[in-house]
Structure 1
């Protein structure tokens, strides 16, 4: 669906976290942001900080490795690099954002994998066909 360039990978990461946060809102039955709304500028900056901090960190850490993983010709290395990236992301998420519920990190990885396939399935198929 998408070509593997920096902008598309950045878009993938941001959409992934948007879907993940919406999933977590339903999972935890916590609609505080929607119910009370954003009342002032302080609320806006608070929610932007909460929602964008981790995706920005993930973009800074994994944008270049994800991009170069698509440049690798051998699919076992492609799979290995992406598994390592997902493992590191799981560890970072569970350590910094969800120490009490480790399943949230697993949900994040599942959503990441599904959206990775949705966004880049043609490129992934080409790697396996040309192997």
Structure 2
């Protein structure tokens, strides 16, 4: 569907984070963060900016180039290993900044949403990696 350019990979992050947050909001039935009027203190505002601004922007800055290079790989084993390494690093980044636990279910959900978005947006490229005879 999309070519693995840095801009398209950045777009995948801009799709991933709202889907992830929307899923969390629905799962937890906690709609308070959707309305900015619910932010009562400076700490609430800082948390909102952190979650909805800092994490997506820093993820794009740190991971857009490596992920676009991973999507350009042509060998299935190399692609799979590089993508697995990317998932581990992205999980560690997310959990480091959002959780006090090493193993966090939100981190797993975050990666599941991310891989689903990648599979949806770059399915032709990923299929070509595994079906090409090189």
Cα shift at 1:99: 2.4
After superposition, the C-alpha distances for 1:87-128 in whole angstroms (9 at most, x for unaligned) are: 111111112102257100000111111111001000001111
Matched, 1:33 2:33: yes
Pairwise mapping of residues 43-82 of structure 1 onto structure 2 (< 5 A)?
46=46, 47-82=48-83
Runs of 4+ in 1 over 4 A off after TM superposition: none
**C-alpha separation in 2, matches of 1:102 and 1:50:** 16
* Structure 2: unaligned runs, 5 residues or longer: none
The answer for the alignment partner of 2:118 in structure 1 is: 116
Q: How far apart are residue 74 of structure 1 and its match?
A: 1.1
Unaligned runs of 5+ in 1: none
> RMSD value over aligned CA atoms?
2.1
Per the normalisation by structure 1, the TM-score is 0.86
TM-score, scaled to structure 2: 0.84
> Is 1:94–2:95 an aligned residue pair?
yes
Question: How far apart are the structure 1 equivalents of 2:14 and 2:100?
Answer: 22
